[in-house]
Amino acid sequence: MDRISKENYYLDIAETVLERATCLRRIYGAIIVKNDEIISTGYNGAPRGRANCSTLGYCSREAMRVPRGERYELCRSVHAEANAIISASRRDMAGGTIYLVGRDARTGELLADATSCSMCRRLVINAGLARVVIRRTKTEFDVVPVTNWVVEDDLLVPRDPDAILNEQ
């Protein structure tokens, strides 16, 4: 009998977690694992006690015509990575791995372009996680060292090197 890889094993679990998500656009599931132990899970949905988009029947960002990938502060949902991180202690997850799976809420198709938004990347960095494993297909995935997200600071404004030299 062929065994699946540990990465796909954990990604399968994260994919089951996303079945609790309540977003009408993209649904995500995440699990944090350290030393072969699941530390926490998370999926995207409204904060506890607030109405979910699936209950309301509309997406507030779509209603405001916000393009995908922009203005996440207008989203009702807490993202899967954030929910997994707030459900664990830093001491338990530092050095661990977060596994992430996304699906299109309408079609159910896996999101080959799934990734963490810039806000969640900051949370992953501060949580002390070492790796992010993101499902691309049923068997393929990318492994992202979190140090890449530290070095590739998405909030730095590119500057003209000549302008910097002229300032000195």
Q: Which residues are catalytic?
A: 81
**E strand or H helix that includes residue 6:** helix 6-17
d(CA 70, CA 121): 15
> Please, which residues have CB within 8 angstroms of residue 29's CB and are 6 or more apart in sequence?
14, 15, 16, 17, 18, 19, 20, 21, 41, 42, 43, 80, 100, 101, 102
